Structure 1
């Protein structure tokens, strides 16, 4: 039996895991001094970049760009429906925190879908970004730079694969561009998680049509949003100048206001949209950005 197979039965959410740690469990933040824990920690350290902070058991936590506290705060803000017995698609899964969370919350089937993050050579991207900065030129969208991609190796999927094995998870993975997903290729799911993806889409309406096609019940959408002073009820979007306005990232494009997101979802074919996050109030600046959560129902 492999190390990760032996470990899986001991992990929260892993096969055979218990809901609560028993006597002798490591204190939060402390890694067990065992060969299995040390080897798992070494494998985690060998992954060049972690976006999600995942608790893999035995005190081992991945060093995510996002902290565990942020993840759990975000998870609460999504107000997920009851996932017990449901099928769930996590679009833009990255390291899989929300995929594994859906499984832990009782989903019968979970599919993690990603493409750009999993196929991207992050070291090459960072070199390209540094070169652009040194030359004082804007970055181009990575899709236009073939040397940034390694779809034959999927370097960005190493974290997901390691976490899945360590957790003993049954989450499936699909490598597919979200702008090309449809029911024929990925199927339909009771619940679709579309978290932190929409504002990366050049064509938000077309992307939401894709989401609608693969959704049977509800899509949980979380996105960068904008509130415009004096235009609360008018559908509007802020456009980000590539590589200049939002996190120096040329893959960021649009921030809708609440009215625009609701309208886009309805135009995409959803019958009803529930907006869960109030806009900043009072607005003291012409445009205020925030994170907006919505449930779009079929």
Structure 2
């Protein structure tokens, strides 16, 4: 069974290790579970997937708002049991060691810019993470609605994050904050991680969906 998806995932760009044997993983904003199941395929011993579905791409009609329906179908088809693959409908702000335990790795993809309090979210995730966090987000390096659009972002390592009270970014009312890549990396460090790498999906993107950045930080 092959599903084309709404937006193709550039898998290799995320920098996830080919093997994750024995690791316990938290997948934040899991949606349909692509990275949940990918971590299990790479050897993770357990993945906990969380989402509160507060985005729904900002504009999906009610009939297309499936919640965990697709996730559950994929879990059944791929044969992953609840012992190694759990999913919880909850906010990232409610993440705690008491509720979820501790994790070796945290995935934080496509979620940062939908949050009203992104640094608080990073603090919460840091509090349950013993080693590595991987973050993916929209970034401002090559696009800013306030600077003039594509090619008019902040390309010089500026420490900038823009606030969108309405639909300024992508015509989506659930896009609240977008940082520069440099800002995203330093916010991750400020949350308690140490060594950090950051990179862009494309050096000179010509479309808004390609204006994305990645951060890998560790506590080791």
RMSD of aligned Cα (Å): 2.9
Is there any run of 5+ residues in structure 1 with no aligned partner, and where?
1-59, 128-153
TM-score, structure 1 normalization: 0.60
CA pair 220-187 structure 1, distance change in 2 beyond 3 A: same
Match of 1:297 in 2: 218
Match of 2:146 in 1: none
Larger Rg: 1
Structure number with greater CO (CA < 8 Å, separation at least 6) is: 2
Q: Is the Cα contact below 8 Å between 1:239 and 1:254 reproduced in 2?
A: yes
Match of 2:74 in 1: 163
The within-5 A match list for 1:82-231 is 82-116=19-53, 126=61, 155-170=66-81, 171-227=85-141
Cα distance in 2 for residues equivalent to 1:230 and 1:126:
34
Residue by residue over 1:180-233, the C-alpha shift from the partner in whole angstroms, topping out at 9 and shown as x without a partner, is 212221121111110101011111111110111121110000000011766623
Residue by residue over 1:101-127, the C-alpha shift from the partner in whole angstroms, topping out at 9 and shown as x without a partner, is 111111111111112259x7x99x636
Match of 1:259 in 2: 182
CA pair 231-100 structure 1, distance change in 2 beyond 3 A: closer
The structure with the largest helix share of the pair is 1
Deviation >4 Å, runs of 4+: 228-231
Cα distance in 2 for residues equivalent to 1:115 and 1:278:
26
The number of residues matched between the two structures is: 201
The structure with the largest strand share of the pair is 2
Q: Is the Cα contact below 8 Å between 2:160 and 2:180 reproduced in 1?
A: yes
Is there any run of 5+ residues in structure 2 with no aligned partner, and where?
142-151
Please tell me whether residue 61 in structure 1 is matched to residue 61 in structure 2.
no
Cα distance in 2 for residues equivalent to 1:96 and 1:261:
24
Q: Is the Cα contact below 8 Å between 1:276 and 1:295 reproduced in 2?
A: no
> Secondary structure in 2 aligned to 1:193?
strand
Residue by residue over 1:214-263, the C-alpha shift from the partner in whole angstroms, topping out at 9 and shown as x without a partner, is 211100000000117666233101223422431x2211111111221122
CA pair 117-241 structure 1, distance change in 2 beyond 3 A: closer
Q: Is the Cα contact below 8 Å between 1:116 and 1:177 reproduced in 2?
A: no
